[in-house]
Structure 1
Amino acid sequence: MRRIKLLTMLVLMVFMALSMVVPAFAAGDVWVQKADIPTASGHLLGSGFDGKVYVMGGQFGTAPAITYSTLTYMFDPVLNTWASKKNMPYSASYTNALTVNGKIYVIGGQSGVNELGFSNRVQVYDPSTDNWTVKTNMPTGRHSLGLAEVGGKIYAIGGTTQYSTTGGIKVEVYDTSTDTWTTKTDLSTARYHFGTAVVNGKIYLIGGAKGPSASSTNEVIAYDPVTDTYSTKASLPINSLTYLTASATAMNGKIYVAGGASGTSTLYEYDPLLDTWTNKANMPEVKGFQATVSVNGKLYVISGYNGTGNTYSPTVYEYTPSLTVPVAPINLAATAGNAQVTLNWTTVDGATGYNIKRSTTAGGPYTTIASNVYGSPYTDTTVTNGTKYYYVVTALNSSGESGNSNEASATPQGTVTPPTGNRALLVITLVSGLEKEYDLSITEVNSFTTWYAARAAGTGPEVYTINKSFNKASFLTRKDNIAFNKIELYEVNEYTPAP
C-alpha cells in the first residue's frame, strides 16, 4: 500500500511539473539553459546555417595579456551538443559573422598579439566541406564594425582603427558573387561597437559608442541600401548598452538586443513596423561581449563576459520569443505566361509558409489553390489562356495567418506566331481598359512579340519603347513606353498595304 501511495505521489509531481512547464514554453518569452560551449571566450563571433549555430574566434584574457582565438565550433540545438570544426586561418574578435548563400563570412576585427591588430581580412567558412578560404581584403582595416547582408552583399559599417578613442565613418560593400568591394555614403558621425540587424532590406545600427570621445549612445539609425540614405528611429530605452558588437540579431521580423559591455541581463525587442522597443524576459545570467545567433525562430546567447571580474562564462542560453501572427505580404506581382501565371512577393520575416489564393473576380471571393508554400516565387499552372485571374497571398506561422496581400492580376496567353506579312496593326489593351493601336512594320511587330515573350519568361527590360511615325507634326520623334505589367493582352492584325 505504501508503494502505491509513493508511486501516486511521484506521478502527481511529474504531472504538476509538466503542467507548469508546457504552458510557459507555449507562451514564449522564456529562457532555457543549454550545453556549455567547450571553450569560454569573449568578443566571439556567431552565425546560423541549416539549423545549426556556428561560433568562431574571440579572445581570452585581458590587456595586455590577450590571446586571440581561431577556434570554430558547431552547436546542434536538437541534440544539444557541440562539435569542433576546422580552425580559422587567422584569429578574429570584435567583429561578427554572416551567412550568405550557405557560406559564413568573417570580415575585419582585431587580430594579432595586441589590441591594435586591425584586420582587413575576409575569411569564408563552408560548413558543407568544413573548410576556410580567404577572399579579397576589405579596403579599410578596422574592428568593432557593424556587418549586415542585403541581397548577397555585405555592408561593413563604421568601426575603429584606434582602440577606444575614435570610431570610423566608412561604409564599404562586399559583393559575395564577384569578390569585389565598393563604397557607399559615409556615416555622418563616427560610430563603433554597435549592434546591427536587417529587417525587410533595411540595416539597423543600434547603440554603441560614437565620436572621438567614445561616448555611449542609445541612438538607432536605419540605413536603406537602395537609396543609400539614413533615418533616425526610436532610441534604445537605456544608453548603457555600449559595446554591442555581435549582440543584436533579427528574428521573426523583430530585432533583439541582449546584454552589453557593462554586464547586464536585459533583453530588448524592437518592432521596425511600429518603431517601438519592449523589455522582454531577462537572461538568467549577466552577459556581455557574447555571440548572439538566431536559428529556427530561437535566440542563442553564447559565452561572453559574465560581469564577475575579468572572467568569461561558457554558458549558453536559448530564448523562445512570443510569436505573433505575421504581417501581410507586400509587393505581390503577377506575370502571365503561356498557360501559367508566376507570382512574386516580398517575403515576411517570421513566416513559415504562405497560402496562395485566386479568383476570377476582382476583390474576390478567393479560393486557396496552394497551402503552406515555402516562399516566393510561385507558378500557378492550373489556368486557362485568355482568362483573367486575381491573386492574393497570406503569410503563416504557428500563431496564425496574416491578412491578404495586395491583389495582383494577370491573363495567361497562348504562344503568338509572329506575322510574316508586310505590315500589321498592333492593338495593346492595358489593364486599365485603355487600348493603344499602332501601325507597324512586320519587323517592328516581331521585335515587340519577342520582347513580350522574353519578359513573360522573366528576362529583358520591363518597358518597351514604340516609335510612332504618325502625327509627328513639328516633333522630331514620338515614342510610347509600354510597361509589361500594364498590358492586359495584345492583338496582331496583319495586312498587305494597297499598291
Structure 2
Amino acid sequence: AVGQTQQFTAAGFDQYGNPYAMSPGWSVSGGGSINSNGLFSAASAGGPFTVLASDDGVSGSAEVNVLPDSGWATLPSSNHPRHESSLVAFGTKLILMGGRGARPVEIFDLETNQWSTRSSPPLELHHFQATVVDGLVYIIGAYTGSWPFEDAVDHVYTYDPILDQWSVGPLIPAERRRGSAAAVVHQNQIYVAGGIVGGHGEHAEAKRWLDKFDPATGSWTVLPDMPTARDHFGAAIVAGKIYAVAGRDSGASDGVDVTVSQTDVYDINASSWGTLPSSSNIPTARSGVGVTSSGDLVIVIGGEGQGQAWDSVEALDTTSGNWQTLPAIPTARHGMGAATINGSVYVAAGSQSQGGGPETGALEALFIGD
C-alpha cells in the first residue's frame, strides 16, 4: 500500500543453471523509489510499477502493485469469469475456485501479478465459502447442479494448490447436507453455518445449522443452531467469535428480497450464540455478499437484491458494534468470494446483475490496514 516498503532481491544464473555472484543496480518505472539494496518504497499514488535489476548487461524485472491509501485498485482480471464462486488466501496467492459450470481453479500470484489456470474440480461446485487448513483448501456446504433444483454436495472436497490435485474427503452426514453455507476456520477446525436445502424457491428451506468438522479425524460435531436461518451470506471469525452477516431466506416466495439484517455471533469458547442489538443491523441488507475480516473489522462487499447487484462495502467494527461505510467497489457484483492478505481485501469474479449474469472476472483490491 501507499507509504509501505517491499524488499526485492535478485539472483543470477549462467547458461547451465549455475548461480553466480552479482551486484545488481536497481531502478523502478511508473512511480515509487528503490535504493541500492533493493528496498522499494511506495509512492503517494497507487498503481502497478516495474522494478528492474541489472548487472553487467543482464537484467530482470518484476511487477509490484501499490494499492491506493483510499479507494479500490483494479488488478488483472481472471481468465474464466464466473459467479457463485469462492476466493481464498493461500500465502501470497489468491485461489479462485468453483462457480456454476465446473470452472477450473485459477490462482493469482500477488508477487508476479499474474493468473494461472489449474485443474477443474471433479464435479460442478458452487455456492460455498472455501477454507484452508494445513495447506489444503476445503469445500464444505456446497451445491452442485442447475437452478432451481440444485443438490447439496454429499462429500467434503479438498484441493491441494501445490500438487494441483483434487481429492474426495469424508461423507457429510445426510441430515446435515446443504448448499450456500458459510465456513470459517478456528484452531484447525472448520465451522459450517447456515445454508439451504432443496435448491432455490418455495420448495427449498434455509437452515440455522452450525457444525464443526475436524479435518484431522474427519469427524462431525453438531453445534447449537444459529438464531436466524439464512443462506447466500458470509461468515468471518474475529477474536474467537464467528460473525454471520447479511444473507436471505431463499426458500421464501420471493427469497432474493427476504434479506437478513441482524448479525448473529457465536462464541466458540462459550458454545453459545447471540444476536447483536438492532442498532448493529447491517445498514444495507442484501445477499450473495463477499465477506472477509481484517483486524477487528468484518467486511461485507457487494451483493444482490431489489433488482440489482450492489457496489456497497460496509464494515462492522466488532469492538463497538458499529458499521462504517467504505469506498464502493468499482464493479458491482454478487455471488463472489473475498479474501484478505496483509491488510488488503481482494474480491474476484461474480455476477454483475441480480441473478445469473453477466459474469465477471474482475479482481479488485482495497487496502484496509493491518
Q: Which amino acid aligns with 2:140?
A: I
| Matched residue, 2:118 | 85
- The secondary structure found in structure 2 opposite 1:142 is coil
CA contact (8 A) 1:249 1:257 kept: yes
Structure 1 equivalent of residue 293 of structure 2:
250
Mapped pair 1:108 → 2:147: no
Aligned to 1:223: 266
Select the structure with the greater relative contact order (CA < 8 A; seq sep ≥ 6). 2
> Paired residue for 2:221?
182
Equivalent in the alignment of 2:97? 56
Q: Is the 8 A contact 1:237 1:277 kept in 2?
A: yes
Query: SS of the counterpart of 2:196?
Result: coil
SS of equivalent residue, structure 2 residue 360:
coil
State how far apart, in whole Å, the 2-side matches of 1:298 and 1:226 are: 29
Name the one with the larger helix percent. 1
Pair 1:47–1:14, CA change in 2 (3 A): closer
Structure 2 residue ranges without an equivalent (≥5): 1-29, 33-41, 48-65
Structure 2 CA distance, aligned partners of 1:264 and 1:283? Answer: 9
How far residue 48 of structure 1 moved from its aligned partner, in angstroms, is: 0.7
Q: Distance in 1 between matches of 2:249 and 2:353?
A: 23
Residue 128 (structure 1) shift:
2.3
1:22 CA drift (Å): 5.6
Closer, same or farther in 2 for the Cα pair 1:196/1:33, shift >3 Å? same
The equivalent residue for 2:161 is: 127
Aligned pairs, number? 297
C-alpha spacing 1:135/1:277, structure 2 compared with 1 (3 Å) = same
C-alpha distance in 1 between matches for 2:76 and 2:85: 17
- SS of residue matched to 1:143: coil
Query: Would you say the 8 A contact 1:29–1:280 is kept in 2?
Result: no
Q: What whole-Å deviation, never above 9, does each CA across 1:450-497 have from its counterpart, x for those lacking one?
A: xxxxxxxxxxxxxxxxxxxxxxxxxxxxxxxxxxxxxxxxxxxxxxxx
Distance 1:41 1:293 in 2: 17
The within-5 A match list for 1:343-362 is 350=370
Is 1:137–2:182 an aligned residue pair?
A: no
Work out whether 1:316 is the aligned partner of 2:363.
Answer: yes
- CA separation in 2, counterparts of 1:212 and 1:55? 28
* Amino acid of the structure 1 residue aligned with 2:296: G
Which residue of structure 2 aligns with residue 71 of structure 1? 104
Deviation at 1:78, TM superposition (A): 2.3
SS of match in other structure, 2:144: coil
The DSSP-based 3-state class of the residue aligned with 2:197 is coil
Query: What's the CA shift for 1:28?
Result: 2.3
CA contact (8 A) 2:125 2:144 kept: yes
Whether contact under 8 Å (1:42, 1:58) holds in the other structure is yes
- Whether the 8 Å contact between 2:144 and 2:151 is mirrored in structure 1 is yes
Structure 1 Cα separation of the partners of residues 180 and 46 of structure 2: 40
- TM-score normalised by length of structure 2: 0.75
Question: Is the contact made by 2:185 and 2:191 (CA closer than 8 Å) also made in structure 1?
Answer: yes
1:191 match: secondary structure: coil
Q: 1:30 to 1:50 in 2, by over 3 A?
A: same
Which structure has the bigger radius of gyration? 1
Asked if 2 retains the 8 angstrom alpha-carbon contact of 1:143 and 1:159, the reply is yes
Counterpart of 2:9?
Answer: none
How far is 1:70 from its partner? 4.2
After TM superposition, the structure 1 = structure 2 runs for residues 388-427 of structure 1, keeping only pairs within 5 Å, are none
Q: CA deviation at 1:188?
A: 3.3
Q: Which residue of 2 aligns with 1:206?
A: 245
CA deviation profile, 1:73-102 (whole Å, cap 9, x unmatched): 110122211001222222211111001122
Q: Distance in 2 between matches of 1:74 and 1:27?
A: 23
RMSD in angstroms over aligned alpha carbons? 2.4
Q: 2:349 aligns with which of 300, 303, 308?
A: 303
Q: Distance in 2 between matches of 1:222 and 1:14?
A: 44
One-letter amino acid of the structure 2 residue matched with residue 83 of structure 1: S
CA displacement 1:156-194 (0-9 Å, x = unmatched): 111111223320122221001111111111223322111
1:33 aligns with 74
Is 1:161 aligned with 2:207? Answer: no
Q: How far 1:27 moved relative to its partner?
A: 7.0
Q: Hey, what's the Cα distance between the residues in 1 that align with 2:284 and 2:183?
A: 23
Distance apart, 1:155 and its partner CA: 1.1
* C-alpha deviation, 1:148, in angstroms: 1.3
1:235 lines up with 2:274 in the alignment = no
| Paired amino acid for 1:121 | H
TM-score by length of 1: 0.56
Q: Identify unmatched segments of 5+ residues in structure 1.
A: 1-12, 60-67, 324-349, 351-499
Q: CA deviation at 1:275?
A: 1.2
For the Cα contact (< 8 Å) 1:189–1:211, is it kept in 2?
no
Query: Secondary structure at 1:136's aligned position in 2?
Result: strand
Deviation for aligned residue 1:208: 0.8
AA in 1 matched with 2:161: P
Identical aligned pairs, as a percentage?
Answer: 23
CA distance, structure 2, for counterparts of residue 256 and residue 52 of structure 1 = 20
2:45 counterpart SS class: helix
**Alpha-carbon distance in structure 2 between the residues aligned to 1:164 and 1:276:** 33
Checking the alignment, whether the CA contact within 8 Å between 2:245 and 2:264 is kept in structure 1 is yes
How far 1:19 moved relative to its partner?
7.3
Alpha-carbon distance in 2 for matches of 1:29, 1:206: 24
Q: Alpha carbons of 1:126 and 1:218: their partners in 2 closer, same or farther (altered >3 Å)?
A: same
What are the residue-to-residue correspondences of 1:259-338 with 2, within 5 Å? Answer: 259-262=302-305, 263-307=309-353, 310-321=357-368, 323=369
Aligned to 1:21: 45
CA apart distance, 1:253: 2.9
After superposition, the C-alpha distances for 1:261-311 in whole angstroms (9 at most, x for unaligned) are: 231111111111111111011111211112212122211111111138831
Tell me, yes or no, if structure 1 residue 149 matches structure 2 residue 149: no
